[in-house]
Structure 1
Amino acid sequence: MISDYTIQERVRKFETATSHEEQLYNILKVYMDIFPVLDSYLVRYSPLGYLAEGIISINSTGLVHIGEIRDDIRSFPIIYSSIHERKAKYCSGLEYLKQTSSKYIMSSSINSLVIVPICFGSAVIGYICSSEFEEQAIDDKMLSSLTFYGKLIGNMIHSSNSAANSKQLSKRELEVMKRIAWGESSKEMAVSMEISELTVKQYVKTAIKKLGAQNRSHAVGELFRKGIIS
Structure 2
Amino acid sequence: MTSQYTLQHRIQNLEEATCHEERLYKILDVFMDFYPVTNAYLFRYSPLGFLGEGIISLSSAGMVHIGDIRDDIRSLPIISSAINEKKAKYCSGIEYLKQTSSKYITSSGVNSLVVVPICYRSVIIGYICSNEFVREAAIDEKLLSSLTLYGKEVGKFFEKFDNVEDPQNLSKRELEVMRRIAWGESIKEMADSMQISELTVKQYVKTAIKKLGVQNRSHAIGELFRRGIIT
Using structure 2 for the length normalisation, give the TM-score.
0.76
Distance 1:144 1:170, change over 3 A: closer
Q: Classify the secondary structure of the residue corresponding to 1:125.
A: strand
Which of 184, 209, 212 is matched with 1:204 structurally? Answer: 209
* Distance in 2 separating the partners of 1:149 and 1:164: 26
> Match of 2:58, SS?
strand
Aligned length: 198
Q: Structure 2 vs 1, CA of residues 42 and 208 (structure 1 numbering), >3 Å: closer, same or farther?
A: farther
1:66-96 alpha-carbon deviations (Å, 9 max, x no partner):
0000110000000000000000000000110
Contact 2:209 / 2:220 at 8 angstroms: preserved in 1?
Answer: yes
The 5-angstrom pairing of residues 80-159 of structure 1 reads 80-135=80-135, 136-159=137-160
Give the TM-score normalised by the residue count of structure 1.
Answer: 0.76
Structure 1 distance, partners of 2:114, 2:157, is 22
| Paired position in structure 2 for 1:187 | none
- The 2-side partners of 1:208 and 1:123 are apart by 28
SS in 1 for 2:133: coil
Can you give the 5+ residue segments of structure 2 that lack an aligned partner in the other structure?
A: 188-198, 200-204
Percent sequence identity is 54
1:32 correspondence with 2:32: yes
Matched with 2:11 is 11
Evaluate the alpha carbon distance shift between residue 208 and residue 70 of structure 1 in structure 2; reply closer, same or farther with a 3 A threshold.
farther
- Whichever residue aligns with residue 144 of structure 2, its letter is L
What residue in structure 2 maps to residue 168 of structure 1? 172
Counterpart selection for 1:215 from 194, 205, 219: 219
User: In structure 1, what is the Cα distance between the partners aligned to 2:221 and 2:174?
Assistant: 19
Deviations 1:40-77 (A, max 9, x none): 00000001000110000012321000000011000000
The question of whether the paired residues in 1 share the 8 Å contact of 2:39 and 2:60 is answered with yes
**Residue correspondence of structure 1 range 31-70 to structure 2 within 5 A:** 31-70=31-70
Per the alignment, residue 196 of structure 1 pairs with none
Deviation at 1:170, TM superposition (A): 5.0
Question: Matched residue of 2:14: which SS?
Answer: coil
Q: 5+ residue gaps in structure 1?
A: 183-192, 194-199
Root mean square deviation of aligned Cα:
3.1
Structure 1 residues 170 and 152: CA distance shift in structure 2, 3 A: closer
